[in-house]
Amino acid sequence: MQAKQGDLLATLVGTMVVSCQAEPGMPLDAPGHIAAMACSVVLGGASGIRIEGAANIAAVRKMVKVPVIGLIKAKRDDTEVYITPSLDDVAAVVEAGADIVAIDATSRPRPAELKDMFAAVAARGRLSMGDVATLDEGRRALDSGADLVSTTMAGYTDYSSEQRGPAFDLMEEFARAGLPFVAEGRIWSPQEAVRCFQLGARFIVVGGAITRPDAISRRFANEVAAWSARPQLKRNPK
């Protein structure tokens, strides 16, 4: 099994994984739509897919052959951790067909210990990815048994600084420390994607820049609106 897992990671090195997710209540929030997005980005060159929700993971698993990173977002009253927070969530992600289980590995209080979470993934013959916000959290996740760590949570905890773009500073810290990491979060352009690799990312995960038509449209619309508000810059058509 370890050889198989190593082969899976080898297929992802130097490539782009695409996160195909939709916010609850949005038009694309349905397993069939998520699966169609996954098939589309694979045609476009994605080497793997990151998917939230057991039903979505199962739908995508039937449609693609590339590796699937799975997670469950669960809001709970007893913790701020919401990406695959419990052992039951780990079991559900694996049962749905994910090859890699993404787990919030931040230092915030949690329902289950990280070692138990990562051990549960390994016991089921899958790989684990710890989503972290800091270098210390990355070290802790790997020491607790994670196969990889990602920059997913950088800027999304109350102790990590808010950022508009990718967490390049954190990537540099990981690289200097020699930790294997995945770059994920706010990668909006091909140039930023390449920069992640230059900083040492094993692979990258791109989401909203590809699979969020509402967010993509809003970026264009905001620019158009800003230009339209400055009539002195308009040119009369000839």
Asked whether residue 238 is assigned to any structural domain, the reply reads no
Partners of residue 203 on adjacent β-strands: none
- CATH number of the domain within which 165 lies: 3.20.20.70
**What SS3 state is found at 205?**
strand
Q: For 182, which DSSP code? A: E
Asked whether residue 184 is assigned to any structural domain, the reply reads yes
> Where in the sequence is the domain holding 87, given as residue range(s)?
2-233
Q: Answer whether 146's CB lies under 8 Å from 106's CB.
A: no
Asked whether residue 116 is assigned to any structural domain, the reply reads yes
pTM of this structure: 0.93
pLDDT in tens, 79-90: 999 999 999 999
Partners of residue 19 on adjacent β-strands: 50
**What SS3 state is found at 230?**
coil
- Report the domain count for the chain: 1
pLDDT in tens, 35-93: 999 999 999 999 999 999 999 999 999 999 999 999 999 999 999 999 999 999 999 99
